[in-house]
Structure 1
């Protein structure tokens, strides 16, 4: 008998030439686990269930969890002010910026990549080559002397620099490199054994190369298009199974206690398009009921969506090593399952 969900996924893949992996789980039951396209086009190596994919901003949730862990341990609070945490100079930043503001994209700090003024993420690396971007401090010259965009708490404006600052706070308080902290306190605890913040010039095996498809039918990799190593605003690599494990660990209080998990998943602010945002996670609501917690990431050659649907206890992961397609795949799965 034909499986409607698998047939729908195959149909979408044929329509949009999707490249990547789709995993849909309901508790221990796997509803779909499918992979398409090449992890390495030059060597014609296929994507498969064990392929690691970049997820860009999809890993802001890891940073938020890390901050909430430190709050649970009473090493800081959500009302702690930025200037109380870091010694670096931010001459034009408002003294009232709090950890809460940074977590919810309501801080008003200038961003290093502002979509209001830049159309192309690659423009960032013209004056400061991407291969220099290996630690969180490397990003500070891109925004620390900028002017505030608005007063803290005034409104939502998606902001990568705010999450760089959160990563620096984690490093300062924990005494650990951000990536080491996340590896030990999140990846290892959640059973994310194949995930990490790998550098583009030293990728481990089973890692998909990101591809940028050009209008003339040719392509190039994204190796010169994104920072050489990810950090607190994005850039980790995960397998679909590992990301599914993250949702399980979060919802079963393996990473945070019940009260702090609820705080992370609370709709704290409303985005420009009517969506809601918690701490590092987007939240979908219908008739005042939360129907979906989701994360997403877009970079040149990276396209990622993942969600947890509380009413059905289903989680979905869509990883792709091209620049588009994950959203259409997620929408198709949701429609097929009535999510």
Structure 2
């Protein structure tokens, strides 16, 4: 069975909706799109469809911090209290930028997966249509005490990346989303990507869909903040994500030494899994397998990776709550990890 046949079979089995693209040495290996960007109007997904990527864009936030470090405007050891003009009295004064980047700060999260299963529960008391800026997230976590000691352990934390976005705003003097669009998307040639408001999405943008067991569905319009920010919520195309990896690898976004720091295995999370700055790293038997990012929200699933040993880049964007992992896995098995 050819790879295309395998992908087609899995797509039918799981009803995958989205776009996939794999490149090697800047040459296309495979690119396909499935399903509908808009089910009601029967508008199909295509390679230039924009998809939400949830937490997949934490790497953009980390790169923006690294750019400010490269410019000499702060360091990874700069303490949070010295780069944010907000009340941090509930937290340890020793928290640094490095701690936030590596999810080791110990601060509370606004969505803690240990305490809450459904992301939609957040918006019962705080309507999602009020969340349009990074400042709007602060009441969700700022008055809670420390969850663990600074640097004690890795605990995935969205709130930490909200704070990093606020650092970008304060240090650069720009709105976070404007900074990313200017200093990452434009520099990488990601001309179809951006941070869009869900109540005013541009053309060629997929609606996210939440499916139910009885066959019914709804869009994710009332399930997510109306505008994404530094912890998640950008929109990209599969083609743009390939351009992003190529720009990062070729040092168009950061110089080599800072890029190496970004991609360094700062924290071991599990046996083969590590975390750099905003990026997951997989190693096996001391061999580097891939750098990857992922994102899951109601109506969103996303995986994208760079494989140094083979120079493959991969992007799987979906406008459903799952499916991206399954498509990525078969492409890895057939094209890359042999």
TM-score, scaled relative to structure 1 = 0.98
Query: Does the 8 Å CA contact 1:61/1:281 hold for their aligned counterparts?
Result: yes
The 5 A counterparts of 1:8-157 are 8-157=6-155
The 5 A counterparts of 1:165-184 are 165-184=163-182
Q: Is the aligned partner of 1:251 residue 2:252?
A: no
Q: Quick one: distance in 1 between partners of 2:336 and 2:126? A: 46
| Structure 1 residue aligned with 2:194 | 196
Other structure's SS at 1:223 match: coil
Gapped regions of structure 2 (runs ≥ 5): none
Instruction: Describe the shift of the 1:91–1:273 C-alpha distance in structure 2 as closer, same or farther (beyond 3 A).
Output: farther
After superposition, give the CA deviation of every residue in 1:16-70 in whole Å (9 maximum; x if it has no partner): 1111000010022211110000000000000001100000000000000000000
Q: Quick one: distance in 2 between partners of 1:230 and 1:51? A: 18
Q: Quick one: distance in 2 between partners of 1:202 and 1:179? A: 16
Query: Does the 8 Å CA contact 2:274/2:282 hold for their aligned counterparts?
Result: yes
Q: Quick one: distance in 2 between partners of 1:333 and 1:207? A: 25
Q: Quick one: distance in 1 between partners of 2:63 and 2:147? A: 26
Query: Does the 8 Å CA contact 2:107/2:160 hold for their aligned counterparts?
Result: yes
Query: Does the 8 Å CA contact 1:300/1:323 hold for their aligned counterparts?
Result: yes
Q: State the Cα distance separating 1:270 from its structure 2 match.
A: 1.4
Instruction: Describe the shift of the 1:246–1:338 C-alpha distance in structure 2 as closer, same or farther (beyond 3 A).
Output: closer
| Structure 2 residue aligned with 1:325 | 323
Q: State the Cα distance separating 1:97 from its structure 2 match.
A: 0.4
Query: Does the 8 Å CA contact 2:310/2:336 hold for their aligned counterparts?
Result: no
The 5 A counterparts of 1:206-217 are 206-217=204-215
* Regions of 4+ moved over 2 Å: none
Q: State the Cα distance separating 1:5 from its structure 2 match.
A: 2.2
> Which of 246, 259, 269 in structure 2 is aligned with 1:261?
259
| Structure 2 residue aligned with 1:294 | 292
Gapped regions of structure 1 (runs ≥ 5): none
After superposition, give the CA deviation of every residue in 1:159-197 in whole Å (9 maximum; x if it has no partner): 000000000000000000000000110000000000000
| Structure 1 residue aligned with 2:309 | 311
| Alignment size in residue pairs | 337
Q: Quick one: distance in 2 between partners of 1:43 and 1:121? A: 28
TM-score, scaled relative to structure 2 = 0.98
Other structure's SS at 2:191 match: coil
Q: Quick one: distance in 2 between partners of 1:17 and 1:60? A: 28
Q: State the Cα distance separating 1:91 from its structure 2 match.
A: 2.1
Q: State the Cα distance separating 1:9 from its structure 2 match.
A: 1.3
- After superposing the two structures, state which structure 1 stretch, 133-142 or 5-14, moved more: 5-14
Q: Quick one: distance in 2 between partners of 1:20 and 1:255? A: 27
Q: State the Cα distance separating 1:199 from its structure 2 match.
A: 0.2
After superposition, give the CA deviation of every residue in 1:233-282 in whole Å (9 maximum; x if it has no partner): 00000000001100000000000000000000001001256410000000
